[in-house]
Amino acid sequence: MEAFETSKSPLARDSIEQAGEVMETLAWEMLRLRLSMLVVNELVKRRAFQVPIHLALGHEAVAVAVSMAMGAHDRLLLTHRNIHYNIARNADLAAEIAEYRLERDAPGGGRFGAMNLIAPENGIVYTSSILGNCLPVAVGVAKGRAVKQADAVTFAVTGDGALEEGAFYEALMMATSLRLPLIFLVENNDWSMYTRVAERRCALDLQRLAEAFAIPFRRLSGDDAEACLKGMTALRADVAEAQRPAIVEVTLATLGDREVTEEGKPPRTINYHHGGAAHISYEAGPIIEESERDPLYRLSGRLPAETWRRLVAEARAPLDGFLA
């Protein structure tokens, strides 16, 4: 564990100005991630795995942005919903699937299942299925990086549900007190299992919470891949420079939800939490919804149609075999 340093960042951070090239890299990474998750969804529907898998369809922009923004010595700590980061950081879907199949020759030896999947060689040093649990650990990881004088930022991902845990506040308190370069990344999909924020708790203004700690706050829109990449890259640079934590809240939709109508009742939404998303298919992908909720739909409109078609075909080619 001591020796690894990551070098998976597909894009040097200073080349971000080369807009056309960046857009294509971004689109390629988004497509690869979306289609890979759609492959996994098909396999889940076929009951290929015994471990519970929390898909992150709709979360692609933030995962790709973090992966591209990460420096070679950075660290990333994750939650139960980690597939998007694991795939964004690992181009080898077969390895990912081998982990879910608990195969011994998978990179992690199939020892972690899905909800605790790590990939130290990609900077993913810790993943927890316990809400809030990874945040204090991230504080220690950030300190460990500092002790070793690594030029590193640590990213800790949490959800709108997990931040309700006391560990969120404690970790903020400790990271701020110790002035550690740690980004608290909140993926706000409005849901904690089957309750919306408004159904279960008071509103929480994270910007004001960050103000209370005197640390920066950014809000990013998870449907906008380009904005996520720019925002995350800038925030990483700021945190590295200032050597203190920051909070970033990414609002997004976890796709896979659906409307149901029962006779005599108003239509209601059944959200997606985990398992297979029955009405979503790899064939019909990569775009799941022609709406602004789907970051792939939004991104497709930003590229010439020809380029988009080519990238989709290129991204599909190595994946088709998984479902043969």
Ligand X SMILES: Cc1ncc(C[n+]2csc(CCOP(=O)(O)OP(=O)(O)O)c2C)c(N)n1
Instruction: Please count the other Cβ atoms lying within 10 Å of the Cβ belonging to residue 104.
Output: 9
Q: Does 160 interact with ligand X (rule: CB under 6 A)?
A: yes
The yes or no reply on residue 96 touching ligand X (CB under 6 A) is: no
Element (H, E) at 45: helix 19-45
Of 49, 126, 184, 191, which lies in the binding site for Mg ion, with binding defined by CB under 5 A? 191
- Which is closer to another protein, CB of 32 or CB of 80? 80
- The answer to whether 183 contacts another protein (rule: CB under 8 A) is no
Q: Is 159 one of the binding residues for ligand X (CB under 6 A)? A: yes
- 138 lies in the site for another protein, by CB under 8 A: yes
Q: Which one, of 88, 102, 94, lies nearest residue 321 by Cα?
A: 94
Verify binding: residue 168, Mg ion, rule CB under 5 A: no
CA distance 128 to 52: 14
Choices 5-13, 81-89, 117-125, 195-203 (CB under 8 A): range interacting with another protein: 117-125
Cα–Cα separations (whole angstroms), residue 120 to 52, 117, 235, 249: 21, 10, 23, 25
CA distances from 283 to 9, 35, 78, 106, 286 (A): 29, 10, 29, 27, 8
Q: Which does residue 141 touch among ligand X, another protein, Mg ion, none (CB within 5 to 8 A, set by kind)?
A: another protein
Please give the torsion angle defined by the CA atoms of residues 301, 303, 307 and 312, in that order, rounded to the nearest 10 degrees: -50
Instruction: At 70, list the tokens.
Output: 């990460």
Give the residue with the Cβ less far from ligand X, 106 or 277.
277
Determine if 136 is a binding residue for Mg ion (CB under 5 A): no
136 binds, among another protein, ligand X, Mg ion, none (CB under 5 to 8 A by kind): another protein
The stretch among 160-168, 223-231, 279-287, 295-303 that binds ligand X (CB under 6 A) is 160-168
Q: Where are the beta strands (DSSP E) in the chain?
A: 75-78, 124-127, 154-159, 182-188, 191-192, 195-196, 217-221, 246-251, 258-260, 268-270
Output phi, psi for 247, to 5 deg: -115, 135
Of residues 177 through 236, those in contact with ligand X by CB under 6 A are 189, 191-193
231 binds Mg ion (CB under 5 A): no
Q: Is 136 in the site for ligand X (CB under 6 A)?
A: no
80 is a contact residue toward ligand X (CB under 6 A): yes
Q: Which is nearer to ligand X, 250 or 312 (CB)?
A: 250
Q: In the complex, which residues of this chain contact another protein (CB under 8 A)? A: 1-2, 111-112, 116, 118, 120, 125-128, 130, 133, 135-145, 147-148, 166-167, 170-171, 173-174, 177-178
Q: In the complex, which residues of this chain contact ligand X (CB under 6 A)? A: 80-81, 129-131, 159-162, 189, 191-193
Q: In the complex, which residues of this chain contact Mg ion (CB under 5 A)? A: 159-161, 189, 191
